[in-house]
Chain A
Amino acid sequence: MIPRSFEYHAPTALPEVIALLGQYGDEAKLLAGGHSLLPMMKLRFAGPGHLIDLRKVAELKGISVVGSELHIGAMTTENELIFSKLVAEKLPLLVEVARQIADPQVRYKGTIGGDISHGDPGNDHPAVMMAMDATFVLVSATGERLVKATEFFHGMYDTALTPGEVMTQIRIPVPPAGTGSSYAKLKRKTGDYATAAAAVVVQVQNGVCSAARIALTNVGPTALFATDAAASLVGKPIDDAAIVQAAKLAMAICEPVADLRGDEAYKTAMAGQMVERALRSAVSHVK
């Protein structure tokens, strides 16, 4: 459990980060909280020659409301999300998910930007980002671009990030009145990744669902955006029958990989169960 040797860099500003990435290219890895990257290095699955620590880069910190969006710096830790009054007020779903990630030690260090950038289908933020319709700000030597969460995840550990690019910010629209949300995660124990999980955001007007977004964790090579399941809810009350139907449609898109958490059948069934659980809870949260 000892990584190969590497050189460590601790730049203090974003342009320096970009410059270092340019200088070392493939040899370099960005280091955020380190809780996905360092375990891979210790197992010697990854052996970057240069680590560029983002810890001191001020541009990557901070949470603020800008217009109708919440802007969250990529280096915001899970713990900061959990204890942010602003996040609790505007995006309670983000607090709910952060609380279910790993354990306190990991949450003190792990960042939202790292959780998303890693491209691990087992991570919890990706599905939540899809359900909340987040946009990511990616900066490189050639400038800045915006990528939607639903466009960002290409495959296992494969994202829209190109070499030399840094995720600087996550932008999430503040949901209107009448929105309810929830993240339901089945895990074996504290500190475990999801066997299956579902992020759900619904809008309800006069008892009828006017909009819905559903995304699933760890039942495919990326987080899965369950469009059919979400669409099936719209225009009706979210009652038992609607919930069961949405869960079925969500299960239909699952393509999990069997491991010690369960086989394909179990994980698919649990994705359905988590959709049901999250929907019931989201409906009860509608404000």
Chain B
Amino acid sequence: MDQNVENHGRLEKLEGIGCSRKRREDPRFIQGKGNYVDDIKLPGMLFAVMVRSPYAHAKIKSIDTSKAKAYPGVHAVLTADDLKPLKLHWMPTLAGDVQAVLADGYVSFQNQEVAFVVADDRYVAADAAELVEVDYEELPAVVDPFKALLPDAPVIRPDLDGKSVGAHGARKHHNHIFNWQIGDKDKTDRAFTDAEVTVKQDMHYPRVHPCPLETCGSLASYDAIRGDLTVWITSQAPHVVRTVVGLLSSIPESKIRIISPDIGGGFGNKVGVYPGYVCSIVASIVLGRPVKWIESRSENLTTTAFARDYWMTGELAADRNGKIKALRVNVTADHGAFDACADPTKWPAGMFHVCTGSYDIPNAHVSVDGVYTNKFPGGVAYRCSFRVTEAVYLVERMIDVLAQKLNIDKAEIRKRNFIKYEQFPYLTPLGLEFDSGNYLPALEKVLEAVDYTALRAEQAQKRADPNCPTLMGIGITTFTEIVGAGPSKSCDILGIGMFDSCEIRVHPDGSAIARMGTISQGQGHQTTYAQIIASESGIAASQIAVEEGDTSTAPYGLGTYGSRSTPVAGAAVARASRKIREKARKIAAHLLEVAPDDLEFDLDQFKVKGDPSKAKTMKEIAWAAYNNVPEGMEMGLEAVDYYDPPNFTFPFGAYLCVVDVNKKTGETKVRRFYALDDCGTRINPMIIEGQIHGGLTEGFAVAMGQELPYDEQGNVLGGTLMDYFLPTSVETPHWETDFTVTPSPHHPIGAKGVAESPHVGSIPCFSSAMVDAFAHLGTTHFNMPYNSYRVWQHAQSLGL
């Protein structure tokens, strides 16, 4: 008993995997002591602003910077002509395209970067920016990807004139970027020909923006004497930025230091390299002074990395019982004016091929066409893995459509099609190997928790009552995500495999510092990585400092997005910790004068098997590592691990949503949202809960209000937070969360990643509920966002 109490005390002190350790990050954030890019001030620092195009498509006839240059306090005004001698007026994108850093003779989206004004402070810079005179000749703009593919559509990218092959194969039109196909087309087509039932549905996943609270920015400081460049930057992937900067500038990476300090949310918006970053670096090199550039909110919302904008057509073939035989998908992907998607190099539609979902579908074929339009570039993974939100949305919508056609309940049709527990690891027809899953119990748990039968009865009653002022809708999703990019055999960025890394140094006093190639933007890495190290190496989490984001200290890694931190860097953390533990075992054996195999690891110490009184704590071992190691062993206690995952991980969940829609105004109330997530091993349940609340709230935002529409002239509408929907606590529904645990078999601690599941899984769930509210009137689908206006229009179209 006493022994148990003592063990429990040691376990608590360790704060390892599974405990709801409080976030180490929070004390500084809630006291306003975070350190963001814009908080950093250097002596002699200058400030820069962008001059942007008011037109979506125009020829630039001339740029006159003389007035701006003459304005007191202005140090430089850069245009494409100034960047040309450095060959920096264009830069490569992560998707194999190029993007204008500063407009080179023409602009192809509204708010495109045209000139960069560097001045004493942001006030002078703003005044001088107004003095830059640009003479534009407006050209017709095209904002609709289907119209962009018409034969006589305006040429959006004259620089690509005559190039019939792009980074991803043949281009079939001057505004076409690529066609990407996967799956067996013939078999799939045959399955459709032979099918008893088929359904088809068009859907648009609107252009949205991740809208992190902190906008993008950089502070570049070039030391001409040392030849060193230091850049503080809002980046989710600082090492990738270093490589890109090295490629662009020809400065060796050893002389470039990229620092991501505290990052105020990323959600995919901060993966890419933006013209503002490049210009601040060039300006610092040219002027020999630190140059800071920080986006305004509207600049962020209208220039740096949108997400989605996928026009999808899904088709399912099935038998009369709802058993699916085949999935066929055609996508027209609007990439904007430059293809600056953040995707693994080989996959221009990211991991869209996870679109067969949680279902055992024998045949599938996917075709995606990327198209240029006069809209700002992006196509990033907004709180999801590359294009996974789109994929999950498609399959979850399609299975609902099939259920409706066959008049089978949408919970039931899912049960009939789930991949069974015994089928894992499961090879999908599109070539992915799902690591583990247990879908049926998850859905059943949810249905029972909400009393699904009673909800359906209530709905039937309401539908029968013509005086009922509201329509009740029930949504269900049973999604599978793909995260943890990724195995280097299939995933690279700019040719660098998508591994990640961890380095741990244990100090003589038994405390430690650990550094990773990832960078937290709200995920709580400082807290959770320390928990993995604690469980795996026996060093109390409170004794571990976790550092990320500085390329001069952290090992190379591909950064944080696509829920890859836990699946990839988290695995490196576990493996580096185990290396520490194994060296510690040898030192302990030496100290205790036994063989290493005679020792067993017990939380924070090594004990001699059969004689537990003989033990050495990790603290004692750490000290010995610096003065008394076995002969032939190197001193010190350090480990590095670079982890190239053998596979992705596949978290899943079952969600249910109940909405009440006001027939007369379109106002919608989310009455209930029940989210069950399975992310494998749970490192910190409290952080998981927080991430799920955040992801659900962002999912709610996307489904119910977020959208960046354009008018015909190519003006981006809704580029302020007055229009762009960022829910507050007033709008946000109450979330109910639940979980099951199905560990990943290939991950060192069985963890899968969780923060994106709620975003990916909830959006189709809201759609499912909204469509369900109108399903008895024949609706099979209508497009997001479900703001009152759109919902009212839909109700009107049905004669309500």
Contact = CB atoms under 8 A, between A and B. Distances in A.
Q: Do A and B bind each other?
A: yes
Contact of B665 (A189, A260, A273): A273
Contacts of B793: 266
B700 to A, nearest CB: 11
Given A195-B789, A260-B723, A266-B792, A189 B709 contact: no
A188 B130 contact: no
Given A188-B725, A189-B727, A195-B788, A2 B123 contact: yes
A220 to B, nearest CB: 19
Given A189-B705, A193-B722, A273-B665, 16 more contacts: A1-B298, A4-B127, A5-B127, A44-B130, A186-B665, A186-B788, A188-B725, A188-B787, A189-B728, A190-B728, A190-B731, A195-B788, A195-B789, A260-B717, A266-B792, A270-B665
Q: Is the interface of A mostly helix, strand, loop or mixed?
A: loop
15 contacts: A1-B297, A2-B122, A2-B127, A186-B665, A186-B788, A188-B788, A189-B730, A190-B731, A195-B789, A260-B709, A260-B723, A262-B789, A266-B789, A266-B792, A269-B792
Contacts of A59: none
Contacts of B153: none
Interface in A239-287: 260-263, 266, 269-270, 273
Interface string B781-800: 00000011100110000000
Contacts of A1: 296-298
A122 to B, nearest CB: 10
6 tightest Cβ-Cβ pairs between the two chains A and B: A2-B126, A262-B789, A190-B730, A190-B728, A1-B296, A260-B723
A99 to B, nearest CB: 12
Nearest to A261: B789
A191 B789 contact: no
Contacts of B727: 189
Nearest to B728: A190
Contact of B123 (A5, A44, A192): A5
B788 A260 contact: no
Contacts of A188: 705, 725, 787-788
A273 B787 contact: no
A3 to B, nearest CB: 8
A124 B722 CA distance: 16
A189 B704 CA distance: 11
Given A1-B296, A195-B788, A266-B792, A189 B725 contact: yes
Contacts of A5: 123, 127
A263 B793 CA distance: 10
A191 B727 CA distance: 10
Nearest to A196: B665
Contacts of A4: 127
B738 interface: no
B718 interface: yes
Interface in A169-214: 186, 188-193, 195
Contacts of A273: 664-665
B711 to A, nearest CB: 11
Interface string A82-97: 0000000000000000
B667 interface: yes
B127 A189 contact: no
Contacts of B667: 186
Contacts of A192: 722
A253 B166 CA distance: 56
A65 B122 CA distance: 48
Nearest to B296: A1
Contacts of B731: 189-190
A192 B123 CA distance: 29
A94 to B, nearest CB: 21
Interface in A1-51: 1-2, 4-5, 44
A270 B793 CA distance: 12
A83 B797 CA distance: 44
Interface string B462-493: 00000000000000000000000000000000
A62 B350 CA distance: 62
B709 to A, nearest CB: 7
Interface in B222-276: none
A44 B665 CA distance: 36
Nearest to B129: A2
Nearest to B792: A266
Nearest to B787: A188
Contacts of B787: 188
A44 B126 CA distance: 10
Contacts of A2: 122-123, 126-127
B730 A260 contact: no
B31 to A, nearest CB: 20
Nearest to B721: A191
Interface string B702-723: 0001000100000001100111
Contact of B722 (A191, A195, A266, A269): A191
Contacts of A44: 130
A261 B122 CA distance: 33
B725 to A, nearest CB: 6
A260 B718 contact: yes
A90 to B, nearest CB: 28
Most buried by A among B709, B722, B730: B722
A260 B790 CA distance: 10
Interface in B104-140: 122-123, 126-127, 130
Interface in B721-758: 721-723, 725, 727-728, 730-731
A250 to B, nearest CB: 15
Contacts of A193: 722
Contacts of B664: 273
Contacts of B296: 1
B679 to A, nearest CB: 30
A191 B789 CA distance: 18
A188 B790 CA distance: 12
A67 B371 CA distance: 70
Contacts of A103: 728
Nearest to A272: B664
A195 B792 CA distance: 13
Interface in B284-321: 296-298
Interface in B334-389: none
A186 B722 CA distance: 15
A188 B667 CA distance: 9
Interface in A116-169: none
Contacts of A266: 789, 792-793
A2 B298 CA distance: 13
B111 to A, nearest CB: 14
A153 B491 CA distance: 63
Interface string B687-711: 0000000000000000001000100
Interface string A70-85: 0000000000000000
A2 B126 CA distance: 7
A123 to B, nearest CB: 14
Nearest to B662: A273
B282 to A, nearest CB: 23
Most buried by A among B297, B709, B792: B792
Nearest to A276: B664
Contacts of A260: 709, 717-718, 723
Nearest to B725: A189
Contacts of A191: 721-722, 728
A30 to B, nearest CB: 23
A188 B793 CA distance: 15
Nearest to B298: A1
A124 to B, nearest CB: 15
Contacts of B718: 260
A2 B130 CA distance: 11
Contacts of B789: 195, 261-263, 266
Nearest to B722: A192
A196 to B, nearest CB: 10
A269 B787 CA distance: 15
A248 to B, nearest CB: 14
A262 B731 CA distance: 19
Nearest to B130: A44
